Structure 1
Amino acid sequence: MDQPTVGILHPGSMGAAVASCAATNAAAVLWCEAGRSTASAERAEQFGLTPVATLAELLDRSDIVISLCPPAAAEDLARDVAEHRFTGVFVEANAISPARVQRVAELLGPDAVVVDGGVVGSPPVRCKTPTLYLSGPAAATAQVEELFAATAVQTATLGTAVGKASALKLSYASFQKTSRVLVALAVGMAREHGVDQELIEVASRRTDSYLAEPQYVVKTAQRAWRWGPELEEAADTLDAAGLPPEMLRATASTLARWNDARDDSELSLTDALDRLAHP
């Protein structure tokens, strides 16, 4: 098969780096200059992308288009692409919900083939190797896998159902990004009372991730009846320090869904997750 021509929408820090990896197995990687900033142009040039004047030209020349933009703009961008009746493979690689990916697929169908994508990891520069998770029609996901073969962007296909890749991306992001904010709150509270270095020392004794230990969910559910009030106290302490308490109050509210699991020695992970979804 001939090497495909690829279009990237838009060349941000992630998009430009991913596009440069695609260039390894593509005839050309295009980006549209119209409406883009000087910073975008400089970034595209840095990564060796080929400029075109209009979106119409990019879509007319591209076999595969990759959409990597701020999540809020994803559907509007897909709508612009749909208006031009693009007929190639459209990789919806933004951090949006499975429901929004389905809407994008409806916008672009039946002309284009939509592949759901989710990038987990940092931009592929300076030895970073993110994974692009894919789901969608088998022939199309295979094309995208071939596009990134032997590059710094690893690929993994999760099946043919559009939405799976986005669900995985957001599931991971919900933990990874929220945990960073929790770090800020915890250190901020400790600093207010002059014990921030001691907090870091305590935390350094455990360096692995609770996300890799889902069995700990059961222990959390069993202890929710007392952890919830504890977090309300912590929220009050944040509030007194001028720090935002809403995240801890929301966590306490979530824990309240497990109040009837108090010290339930027979509780399983499935039971705990079911109670969380259907209190």
Structure 2
Amino acid sequence: MTTLGILHPGSMGAAVGAQAKAQGADVLWCAEGRGSASKERARRYGLAATADLTELCGRCDVIISLCPPANAIEVAQAVAAESFPGVYVDANAIAPATIAQIGDLLMPSAVAVVDGAVVGSPPSETKKPRLYLSGPEEPAATVARLFHGSAVQPIILGGGIGKASALKLAYTSYQKASRVLAAVSYALASDHGVEGELLDIARGRTTSYLTETAYFPKTAARAWRWAPELREAAQALDDVHLPAALMDASAEVLERWGTLKDEPLGIAEVLDRLHTASND
């Protein structure tokens, strides 16, 4: 039986850990310093708590880091300080350069560092996200085996670390920036009383995020997590000499919503915050 550690059981991490548990893995998490919401998720999904990170690193064969991208290096540094001797999977939305930095942190003690990327919503009976993996072949295969037959679909990419992260950010660059651009476009139309006409134009197209106005509050509630992700996307673009300004601008818009973490707001309140933040 493989023992898997999840850092940390947010909505994605807890659900991913539960899928590995259902396939026979022993899944642990570190309760030290975590809030009541994390503890409740871990309890609901049946994850076993360790007293601290030292215990978790000492008991686990594989650790998967699933956290906001802004915290990815911090989490890796904490694990590196414990001289973790297993397989470390960074499955966060980070730039290839960032995963390379994390690899340098972990490799003095780790068996391997695997680059991971989750594309899709948290796994459930109806949702089956993909877990892309790149890096050393056998460690990546070990991680993939944890999820075979589960709602998490592991896909191993050829090549070294960085490929999974690049794929995730290539997708993120379109998906999240498009959501942001749709909200800004709608806000402009709303200011001039032509939002109905804008939606009529958008509905005449095959697909358009502009018609999905109910998603604006969801985007705002996730902005605290999406903004750092798009900053990583900007870095990834800049690293290969592609224009990064659109990603930085989208991140700047999201940062205006940064204090709305998980708040149940309406469309009008969310759009108003785009204006008021500029005057703070």
Same-fold status (TM-score > 0.5): yes
Q: 1:249 to 1:27 in 2, by over 3 A?
A: closer
Q: What CA deviation, in whole Å up to 9, does each residue of 1:21-49 have, x standing for no partner?
A: 11123431000110000111001101110
1:105 to 103, 106, 112: 103
| Counterpart residue number, 1:114 | 113
Q: What CA deviation, in whole Å up to 9, does each residue of 1:175-231 have, x standing for no partner?
A: 111100111111111112222122112111223479xxxxxxxxxxxxxxxxxxxxx
| Counterpart residue number, 1:131 | 130
SS at match of 2:140: helix
User: Which segment drifts farther, 62-71 or 152-161?
Assistant: 152-161
Contact 2:125 2:151 in 1 (8 A): no
SS at match of 2:196: helix
C-alpha distance in 2 between matches for 1:179 and 1:169:
15
Q: 1:144 to 1:203 in 2, by over 3 A?
A: same
The AA in structure 1 aligned to 2:60 is: S
Pairs within 5 Å for 1:213-252: none
| Gap runs ≥5 in structure 1 | 211-245, 252-279
Pairs within 5 Å for 1:180-195: 180-195=179-194
The sequence identity of aligned pairs, in percent, is 54
Contact 1:9 1:68 in 2 (8 A): yes
Aligned-CA RMSD value: 2.1
C-alpha distance in 2 between matches for 1:34 and 1:140:
28
Structure with larger RCO (C-alpha < 8 A, sep 6+): 2
Pairs within 5 Å for 1:18-57: 18-57=16-55
| Counterpart residue number, 1:266 | none
The AA in structure 1 aligned to 2:142 is: Q
| Counterpart residue number, 1:83 | 81
Q: 1:30 to 1:178 in 2, by over 3 A?
A: same
| Counterpart residue number, 1:199 | 198
C-alpha distance in 2 between matches for 1:149 and 1:85:
29
| Counterpart residue number, 1:171 | 170
Q: What CA deviation, in whole Å up to 9, does each residue of 1:151-177 have, x standing for no partner?
A: 111111111310000011011111111
Q: CA deviation at 1:110?
A: 3.4
| Counterpart residue number, 1:66 | 64
| Counterpart residue number, 1:152 | 151
The AA in structure 1 aligned to 2:168 is: K
The AA in structure 2 aligned to 1:70 is: P
Contact 1:25 1:146 in 2 (8 A): no
The AA in structure 2 aligned to 1:38 is: S
The AA in structure 2 aligned to 1:122 is: S
C-alpha distance in 1 between matches for 2:62 and 2:246:
40
Q: 1:119 to 1:110 in 2, by over 3 A?
A: same
| Gap runs ≥5 in structure 2 | 210-244, 251-280
How many residue pairs match? The answer is 214
Q: 1:248 to 1:168 in 2, by over 3 A?
A: closer
For the pair shown, which has the larger CA radius of gyration, 1 or 2? 1
What's the TM-score, normalizing by structure 1? 0.73
Q: What CA deviation, in whole Å up to 9, does each residue of 1:95-133 have, x standing for no partner?
A: 111111001111111321100001111111351111111
The AA in structure 1 aligned to 2:98 is: R
Q: 1:7 to 1:26 in 2, by over 3 A?
A: farther
